[in-house]
Amino acid sequence: MDTLADIKELVERAKNYDAEAFGRIYDLYFDKIFNYAYYKVGNRHEAEDIAEQVFLKALEKISGFEWRGAPFSSWLFRIASNLVIDFYRAGKYEMVDIACEEHSLYDGGCGPEEFAIREHDRASLVSAIKTLTEEQQQVIILRFISGMSNEEVAKAIGKNVGAVKALQHRAISALGKTLGRE
């Protein structure tokens, strides 16, 4: 895993138009950004588009990026969050049954039965997440899907750690009730 010093070095190099450094940033964060977008919009193709747009915007704006005590990933997730909001505001989205998504997040290492079970579970989880408040969705996706710590989530959404823990607790309780009904 890359340390904070490694990330800072990559960002500084990318700010100086080092394509290799930006490529490394892309490799480090693309899957996390894609997963975030996927769980927010429920459509693989739209999530890929949003993730790509995040990195295009990041590339355009990285020269103005300043360290303000939050992890670099928080900046990327903020861009992603804004693009998801724009996606829904545009109203051009098509509601997709996530269970019908072809090969979404396909793990080639499993057989068709296991893949079907995973997709059913994923579809149930996405549906359940969408029943949460916007803040609860943010916390659950950033914390458990993207693997951020409570501190990183707090910085990313502009709340304190206690508020993040409270949101997380209420969200998990709500998810348990929703998923328990299935």
Is 141 in contact with 39 (CB distance < 8 Å)?
A: yes
> Using CA atoms, how far apart are residues 165 and 169, in angstroms rounded to an integer?
6
DSSP state of 146: S
- How confident is the model over 80-84, as a mean pLDDT? 92
Q: Which amino acid is at 170?
A: R
Does position 111 have pLDDT exceeding 80, yes or no? no
Domain ranges in the chain are 1-96
Report phi then psi at 14, rounded to 5: -65, -35
Residue-averaged pLDDT of the chain: 83
- How confident is the model over 94-122, as a mean pLDDT? 57
Look-up of token digits 């059913």: 120
> Using CA atoms, how far apart are residues 65 and 73, in angstroms rounded to an integer?
12
pLDDT of residue 99: 44
- How confident is the model over 141-161, as a mean pLDDT? 86
CATH architecture assigned to 1-96: Orthogonal Bundle (1.10)
pLDDT of residue 2: 65
pLDDT tens per residue across span 11-54 = 999 999 899 999 999 999 999 999 999 888 888 899 999 999 99
Q: Which of 50-64, 66-80, 99-113, 167-181 has the highest mean pLDDT?
A: 50-64
